[in-house]
Amino acid sequence: MTSSPLLHLPGAVPAEGRDEGVAAHYGELYGEQRALAAGRGFVDLSHRGVVTVTGPERLSWLHLLLTQHLTELPPGQATEALILSANGHIEHALYLVDDGETVWAHVEPGTQEALIAYLESMKFFYRVEVADRTADFAVVHLPAGSIAEVAKEHAVRETPYGRDVFLPRAELEAFAAAHGPAAGLLAYEALRVEAHRPRLGQETDHRTIPHELGWIGTAVHLQKGCYRGQETVARVHNLGKPPRRLVFLHLDGSEVLLPAHGTPVRLAADGEEGRQLGFVTTAVRHHELGPIALALVKRNVPVDAPLLAGNTAAAQEVVVAP
């Protein structure tokens, strides 16, 4: 993985694990969060994969493969979509926009090769071309409320949470100089958790279905035609009983360490030896809310029950209703 040139900015501390290659923070974790919340600065997401689809049949072809309705997607309108397994489990999450000639999508770091392999296997006689543009283009995020100007030639995904800009990698440093201050992944993730937004590989495991995370409605269109995994989506939607549900946790602020990804979640009444009912997916420190987390728990966990995340007391808020 190529490291971002913005790791040379003053105070930059590299992220680790799946976010390796960009900055975790630039020395001011809470200050960076506050800047983003106020619509200032940007986030370097240049470690994410960038995939494009061109050709006259790109939207109708993707419509057959993805969970989202794409045949009439207007140019410039952002959307997100999933690729599911035959059993309805989430395999890929795409954040995309069509600029009138090309569909631009960014995906989780390191997943673009497997995604492209699947898309290539499904081309058949469709007039489409799929390309990995990660080496040439980087994603940068401008927060909601930002008044930063973006060159018209750049593809942009505009959402309620801000703008994702597909920027030539050669322009990263100039962009940073013009649109600072830079904010790191920890600040970005804190605001993502606050907004209850799931992330592939964090809130998902090998058996996650869209209903469990609230991705129904934002990434899944329930009135479109067949796609792989649709039978599971329709069955669970009609029965209304996904096996697990995403919850938002307010964590005990007296604990020094945040619970790691995968930390067991139990009923507080049962103690640390109680039966595991779920696991922490992402835990962060928020500039206003303190330590917070997302977790995936069994559907039948009472919505008002105090929980334990490892040995940390946690109060839950409903994200996905049981």
pLDDT tens for 13-35 read 999 999 999 999 999 999 999 99
CATH tag, 49-132: 3.30.70.1400
Domain boundaries, the chain: 5-48+136-195, 49-132, 243-321
> Do β-strands 137-143 and 162-168 pair in parallel, antiparallel, or remain unpaired?
antiparallel
Distances (CA, A) of 225 to 149, 185, 230: 38, 37, 9
pLDDT per position as a tens digit, 178-197: 998 999 999 999 999 999 99
Counting Cβ atoms within 10 Å, is residue 121 exposed (0-12), middle (13-18) or buried (19+)?
Answer: exposed
Q: Considering the chain, what is the average pLDDT of its residues?
A: 96
How many Å separate Cα 215 from the centre of its chain? 11
Distance CA 252, CA 292 (A): 9
Find the length of the chain. 322
pLDDT per position as a tens digit, 205-245: 999 999 999 999 899 999 887 899 999 999 999 887 899 99
CATH tag, 243-321: 2.40.30.110
pLDDT at 53: 98
Whether 56 and 189 have beta carbons less than 8 Å apart is answered as: no
Binned at pLDDT 50, 70 and 90, residue 311 comes out as very high
**Percent of the chain with pLDDT strictly greater than 90:** 93
Q: Which residue has the higher pLDDT, 272 or 220?
A: 220
pLDDT at 1: 67
Q: Which residues contact 31 (CB under 8 A, 6 or more apart)?
A: none
For the record, the structure tokens of 156 come out as 């942009």
